[in-house]
Amino acid sequence: AVASPAIAQSSPEIKWRLTSSFPKSLDTIYGGAEYLAKQVAEMTDNKFQIQVFQAGEIVPGLQALDATAKNTVEMSHTVSYYYVGKDPTFAIFSAVPFGLNARMQNSWLYQGGGNELATEFFKKHGVIGFPCGNTGTQMGGWFRKEIKTVADLSGLKFRIGGIAGQVLQKVGVVPQQIAGGDIYPALEKGTIDAAEWVGPYDDEKLGFQKVAKYYYYPGFWEGGPTVHAFCNLEKWNELPKSYQTVLANAAQCTNSWMSARYDMQNPAALKRLVAGGTQLRPFTNEVLEACLKATNELWAEISAKNADFKKVIDAMQAYRSDQYLWWQVAEYTYDSFQIRSRTRG
């Protein structure tokens, strides 16, 4: 094909690299980046190509944001709550304890001002971010013994990271930061008492059901966590407008793709786990109430010294209050009846 100069300017050939925070073996969350790259390539007649690297190929998983900000790679696919060490505000754009469920999270980000707050905040860190995946409400994790009271949490060595770990610490848990591949042996040996990961489909792959009997729900620290696609801000600004819209649309499609795919895969995995002897247990109201109280205390503490955090957590909480006011009317009563009548449908 002979390219004329005028056309070449509006549709240049661009090759970007994307580092994922996930290994290929977690095919759905890692697969999101490949889905994104495929959409972008197809929409631009392969002129805009994004090559996807799994965690560790270019940089370790938790350095994805830094690598993007420094332009080691142009893009990353990661979870913004991994970066709470830089600033706890990062967490709110993905998930915080007792935050929004997946649909509300999308509504807040896309239509309720959340993405505008995120863009303003991410800019300070040299990147722009796009919601690019959601797991839905996660499970609360795998426990070697039952947890019925807050007292049962005391001294419990629980593999859980970030801001959720800080909340649980307030109710007696000893949070453990352990990378994905090291959790299984730690739980098997009893070095830790419990571990949380994602949900039935991903958890089953890591084999936790073989070394812990009780599978708790819900993962109240991840009601609807958003995975983000980050772009180096300068590189983003250099893209032609059409490519920017292509990339934004591809990210938004990946967001719904991942949610739809986890929803498709989780029921069968849950059935296999339960058939294999896994015991499902809900967190008791006592545990949930204590953790909510601890969460509100932590938000007050952080807000007192971090104006960005205060602005964003207040916005999210106001949105949440309105969302659940409405959710409890049509959505929740519909789901309630559907659950009650499930076997007679």
Residues 57-96 that bind a copy of itself (CB under 8 A): none
DSSP 2-50: PPPHHHHHHS--EEEEEEESS-TTSHHHHHHHHHHHHHHHHHTTTSEEE
**Position 274, amino acid:** V
Beta carbon nearer to a copy of itself, 171 or 186: 171
Asked if 246 interacts with a copy of itself (CB under 8 A), we say yes
- Which of 49, 51, 107, 119 is in the footprint of a copy of itself by CB under 8 A? 107
Residue 16: CB minimum distance to a copy of itself, A: 17
149 binds a copy of itself (CB under 8 A): no
Binding a copy of itself (rule: CB under 8 A), the pick from 11, 72, 303, 306 is 11
Count of residues in contact with a copy of itself, rule CB under 8 A: 91
| x-or-dash string of contact with a copy of itself, 280-299, rule CB under 8 A | x-x--x--xx--x---x---
218 in contact with a copy of itself (CB under 8 A): yes
d(CA 146, CA 103): 31
Q: What is the footprint of a copy of itself within residues 185-204 (CB under 8 A)?
A: 199-200
From residue 112, alpha-carbon distances to 74, 91, 307 in Å are: 28, 17, 20
Decide: is 267 part of the binding site for a copy of itself (CB under 8 A): yes
The angle subtended at Cα 278 by Cα 272 and Cα 281, nearest 5°, is: 120
Query: Which one of the spans 15-23, 158-166, 176-184, 246-254 is the region binding a copy of itself (CB under 8 A)?
Result: 246-254
CB of 107 to a copy of itself, least distance (A): 4
Q: Measured from the CB of residue 127, what is the shortest distance to a copy of itself in angstroms? A: 21
Q: Quick check: 317 binds a copy of itself (CB under 8 A)?
A: yes
Cα distances from 20 to residues 17, 90, 159, 275, in angstroms, run: 10, 18, 22, 33
Residue 300 makes contact with a copy of itself by CB under 8 A: no
| Range in contact with a copy of itself (rule: CB under 8 A) among 7-15, 66-74, 78-86, 203-211 | 7-15
The token pair at 315 is 């916005």
* Cβ-count burial 76-109 (b if 16+ within 10 Å, e if not): bbbbbbbbbeeebbbbbbbbbbbbbbbebbbbbb
Binding a copy of itself (rule: CB under 8 A), the pick from 80, 89, 101, 166 is 101
Q: Residues 40-59: x/- map of binding to a copy of itself (CB under 8 A)?
A: --xxxx--------------
For the chain, the C-alpha Rg in angstroms (whole number) is 21
Cα-based distances in Å from 288 to 167, 207, 218: 11, 27, 10
275 lines the binding site for a copy of itself (CB under 8 A) = no
- Angle between helix axes 307-327 and 102-111 (nearest 10 degrees) is 120
Choose the stretch contacting a copy of itself; rule: CB under 8 A; options: 14-22, 49-57, 74-82, 219-227.
219-227
